[in-house]
Copies of this chain bind each other. A is one copy, B any other.
């Protein structure tokens, strides 16, 4: 207005139609000196988007998921999107209602992080299909085959199989696989462990798959659990865990039992988190490429929103990072935790 025009300002802001250079400059000048800022709500109303993505995370205080959220947010912002975070916990009802909340907020898409039970009772996943009817739905580290649902994940099964194979091929055949059955990824990795056993004809080691049912933060409880397994006669010379906390507890168990690591007990964790570095000795752990997975997810999302056809899923291979809790022949370099 101060300058000369009215809706031309809009064209200047959005760079939509052609505006004569000096007109553009004049408008920008006035905008500058008057401190004008376009109203985001009105803009949203007109464009029907506020460039906002909903991140639906079960528990962003979890070490691993927090990193996921972090990477996602970074990439989203770099792509010009805002992230609205929503922590749902693990109860289905809360997930549903939070998702509704986000959709009512008119987010452009929803990213599900740390969603367990994706394959549990398939009827439980109807809410995902419903959401996919409205916006593209992105799944981090989970697979779900449905139109308008996109996934970016690590081949946890393969990575775990590889880790188990490494141990077996180094001569250790009694391996305790430790996981939390409530965790979808824990079960997925279990399949990888089983696969490795079968490949090497160790099917009789089935008895060495144990799940821990307590709180995943109760390190000492986990340690005691392992101790009880041993006392009950279970014999094992290696522990593979579905996350670094469980593995850390195994290391503590070994220390308190006087077992030498890795001579008498090898331990492999998962996620390659900071916990792996806090261990003494440092923990061998599987790096599941969280940063790459996250980046790819956002890349796929933005491509989709721009109308580009994107592959419905991308899978990255895992990577075993060897440190002090194993003595594997494989000359994998030790690397900083991700």
Q: Cβ of A86: which chain B residues have Cβ within 8 Å of it? A: 73, 77, 82-83
Q: A41-B45, A278-B279, A280-B252 are in contact. Are A52 and B87 (CB under 8 A)?
A: no
A157-185 toward B: CB 8 Å interface, digit per residue (1/0)?
Answer: 00000000000000000000000000000
A189-223 toward B: CB 8 Å interface, digit per residue (1/0)?
Answer: 00000000000000000000000000001111000
Asked if B85 and A73 sit within 8 Å, CB to CB, the answer is: yes
User: Nearest Cβ in chain B — how far from A255, in angstroms?
Assistant: 6
Asked if A106 and B41 sit within 8 Å, CB to CB, the answer is: yes
User: Nearest Cβ in chain B — how far from A57, in angstroms?
Assistant: 9
Asked if B85 and A84 sit within 8 Å, CB to CB, the answer is: yes
User: Nearest Cβ in chain B — how far from A96, in angstroms?
Assistant: 14
Q: Cβ of A77: which chain B residues have Cβ within 8 Å of it? A: 86-87, 98
Q: Cβ of A41: which chain B residues have Cβ within 8 Å of it? A: 41, 44-45, 48, 50, 106
Complex Cα distance, B71 from A59, in Å, reads 10
Q: Cβ of A219: which chain B residues have Cβ within 8 Å of it? A: 274, 277-278
Residue of B nearest to A215 (CB): B336
A19-47 toward B: CB 8 Å interface, digit per residue (1/0)?
Answer: 00000000000000000011111101100
A267-288 toward B: CB 8 Å interface, digit per residue (1/0)?
Answer: 0000000110111101000000
- Copies of this protein in the assembly total 2
Does A325 count as interface, using CB distance less than 8 angstroms?
Answer: no
Most buried by B among A59, A86, A218: A86
Asked if B45 and A39 sit within 8 Å, CB to CB, the answer is: yes
Q: Cβ of A45: which chain B residues have Cβ within 8 Å of it? A: 39, 41-42, 44-45
Asked if B337 and A40 sit within 8 Å, CB to CB, the answer is: no
Total interface residues in chain A, CB < 8 Å: 54
User: Nearest Cβ in chain B — how far from A324, in angstroms?
Assistant: 10
Does A116 count as interface, using CB distance less than 8 angstroms?
Answer: no
Most buried by B among A37, A217, A278: A278
Q: Cβ of A141: which chain B residues have Cβ within 8 Å of it? A: none
Q: 7 new A-B pairs (CB below 8 Å) besides A41-B44, A217-B336?
A: A66-B69, A69-B85, A74-B87, A82-B101, A82-B105, A84-B85, A280-B280
